[in-house]
Amino acid sequence: MNAQDTLVGFVSGGEDPSLSPLVSRIGDRYEILGLLGQGGMGTVYRVRDLHLDEEVALKQLRPGLLTVAGMLGRFRQEVKLARRITHPNVIRIFDLGEADGQHFLTMELVVGQSLARRLREGRLPTGDAIRIVQAISAGVGAAHGQGVVHCDLKPDNVLLAGDRVAVADFGLARAVGTGGQIAGTPTYMAPEQVRGGNLGPLTDQYALGAILYEALVGRPMWGGDDPREVALARLRAPPPDPRTFLPTIDAGLAAVLVRSAATDPADRFPDLEAFDRALVAFGRPHEALSPVSVASVPLRDAVSVVVLVPRAPADDLELATTLAEDLVDLLGATRGLRVRPISGLPMQLPADPQAVGQQLGATVVVEGSLRRKEGGVRWSLRAVGAADGYQVWSGRYEASTGAILAMVDQAARALAGALAAPLAGKAPVVAQDSAVVEAYFQMRALARTIWGHDAGEAWRIAEAAIAVAPDDPLLLACKALVCANLAFRAPTDPEQWIAEGRAAANRAIQRAPLLADAWLGLARIEWVVADLPAAARALHQALALNAGLTRAQEMLGAILLEIGDLEEGILRLEAVMAADPLSVLARTDLVRAFVYQGRWDKADLLLAAPLASPSDESNRLFQVARFALWRAPSDPVGPPLPAADAPVQAAGQAELFAFVRAWRSETKHDFSALGASMKWATTLRNKRFRSAVLQVMAECAMAVDQPAEALQAVRDGVDGGLLDIQWMDHAPMLAPMRSREEWPALRAPVAARAAAVRLAIAGG
């Protein structure tokens, strides 16, 4: 390591003059230190009480929450009651204050994970679930002793901090629920809350039963997309037997759950003490919490973060973009944050970071500026809350060129800590040589802009960059991703890129097994050659290191759809879309999944959604045309069919568009012309693309009652490695073919491939 390549570090003091000043205090007493969370009632900050020099939590109430006549007085009364509760399983409320016309609550600072976030990792062991619910019950029982009923018990209001279980927001939901509103959250509301009846301690017991049910079974007692239907369901039927979803649950414990959530309060346990006694028999010695799935799904309700490319001189824009991408990758490694990729940001955004956050539906926007200095850079950053425009964190860093990656890691860890989501990702492999870091920046830029280069030019850039340090894992991982893209678009001979990319990825993994991008590069190579079990195993490792890696989640979601696991595939792809609404790949695969489910309204809504760029229009029109074939000619079509002059990206698309227009209008259509125009694709060495073209050809042939041609297209696809068992079993165009005697033999190898992928995803 060169002496000049050491990290200079954090620079304290002073605001960056290129960033407009923002409020970082609430009133004249509370200095904002970080963000703890955001919910329906408001935003919670970690603050320092400057009068007492102590850290507390401050909940800034949502504007307009107390505007109903008499609401403020009722709220004050509820806070006075809640302040009387002193119990280790209850978060203490200190005060109700006001600053700049906004009301806030200060309370005990408890830094931990919400039970809601923990349950999204999977159900709990029986002993842990009962222990947590009994702790909640103890705190709630103490509140009942003071005449306070919670009325909005739910996993979001329960914090797990080490061995401590702490309940928040006592009595506040009931205060908010006055003035014609119904207090509570539909999933956990008791029937008497839905009816607007009298509430009491048994109302909280119902919610506790619902929480325990979800913790043990791994799904809510009452689920669904429509909050109104979720709320009304409990008025129409008793709670479902948990053994329906988890047959191994003890029958006696199942009976306790059903009784605690009885529709009629009189049929529940008489009080929480009786409920606790009933649970004692089923408790277990303390067990460690269930491990997180190594390929876990990003949390859709985590703190949403948008990182903007730092302001920089034109010559430094590529560097600024690369640093922002690296920051996104590091922040995305923690389950507490949902970070939007740089590539998923619209081209035009407001100058005000608060307006950016509100436009993109983010909780926090990170902005900054970057300036090169002699031998290095200076980077100023700050995080701004979208709800109120407060600055929740800021930092200024300087580093020599060789230490820039360490600087990004340092900034990411400080920022994640300020957002109450300590960075979970492994520290990156830090290059210590300036030339290597510059080569890394060049490779990252190439991976981002490769579609604007021809293959020869891209390869020359990659070869020159990798020659700087042939064994550096960061450069090797980038090379693997570049090679995968080159192989995917190679018209006839992808073998060179495949061999180079696989070797680079494996070498990067050997040198740095904890580098998620190395595993992603390997997955991309195996994806291109259609070895999806190998791709799934590599994705398994990449997501174990960084569950927020959207490119890996996109690929895994697509694979899950093909092997028939629609629900989990949709879950992953929707999580990707929540982080990156402009993701073309996730949107394309979600449309297909919704079509399979017959949810045409959702598919059509996605097809009509804004595009990341005009170049995506051809892809969208292809899906509109393809899935028009899946509907009967008399059925209405959602988005308009492609016009005669519609943009196309691949040979045969114009002919496909013309074919579908003619078929839908029941006029003359020429399948032979379509088949001839698309035949070129069947000779491609890119197995993934070849299979997709053959699937469309089979669908078109069946649309015009030419089963022999359709059967040949399917046979060619199967011989070429087709894996899409979902298509084989459920594509409506193929329904007549499934009764043919040739079909079982065609289906068998596809089913075997899907089973192998499923085993690989499970870690086998």
Positions annotated as catalytic residues are 152
Tokens representing 658? Answer: 């013309």
Q: What is the dihedral of CA 502, 503, 509, 511, to 10 degrees?
A: -170
Evaluate whether 82 touches 170 at the Cβ level (below 8 Å): yes
Evaluate whether 272 touches 141 at the Cβ level (below 8 Å): yes
Evaluate whether 116 touches 155 at the Cβ level (below 8 Å): yes
Q: For residue 480, give every residue at least 6 positions away whose Cβ sits within 8 Å of its Cβ, in sequence order, or none.
A: 501, 502, 504, 505, 508, 518, 521, 522, 524, 525
- Which residue is it, tokens 């694709």? 681
- For residue 214, CA distances in Å to 119, 242, 252, 305 come to 8, 9, 17, 28
Q: Identify the DSSP state of 90.
A: B
* Radius of gyration (C-alpha) of the chain in whole angstroms: 28
Q: Identify the DSSP state of 186.
A: G
The set of long-range contacts for 629-635, using a CB threshold of 8 Å and a minimum separation of 24, is: 629/660, 629/663, 629/699, 629/700, 629/703, 629/733, 630/595, 630/699, 630/731, 630/732, 630/733, 631/600, 633/663, 633/664, 633/666
- Strands, E assignment, 350-471: 364-373, 376-385, 391-400
The Cα–Cα gap between 493 and 455 comes to 12
- DSSP reduced 3-state for 338: strand
Evaluate whether 713 touches 694 at the Cβ level (below 8 Å): yes
Question: Among 675, 751, 669, which Cα is nearest to 713's?
Answer: 675
Evaluate whether 166 touches 91 at the Cβ level (below 8 Å): yes
Evaluate whether 426 touches 519 at the Cβ level (below 8 Å): no
* Distance of alpha carbon 405 from the chain centroid: 25
The Cα–Cα gap between 268 and 205 comes to 8
Tokens representing 666? Answer: 């029941």
φ, ψ of residue 485 to 5 degrees: the values are -65, -40
- Strands, E assignment, 375-526: 376-385, 391-400
Q: For residue 436, give every residue at least 6 positions away whose Cβ sits within 8 Å of its Cβ, in sequence order, or none.
A: 402, 468, 469, 472, 474, 475
* Distance of alpha carbon 571 from the chain centroid: 9
Neighbours of 299 (CB within 10 A): 21
How wide is the angle at C-alpha 438 spanned by C-alphas 434 and 442, nearest 5°?
Answer: 165
Question: Among 104, 176, 179, 165, which Cα is nearest to 130's?
Answer: 165
Return the bridge partners of 304, or none.
Answer: 338
- Which residue is it, tokens 């045969």? 652
The Cα–Cα gap between 253 and 278 comes to 8
The Cα–Cα gap between 580 and 73 comes to 42
Q: Identify the DSSP state of 9.
A: E
> With DSSP H G I counted as helix, E B as strand and the rest as coil, what are the percentages for the chain, rounded to 5?
50, 10, 35
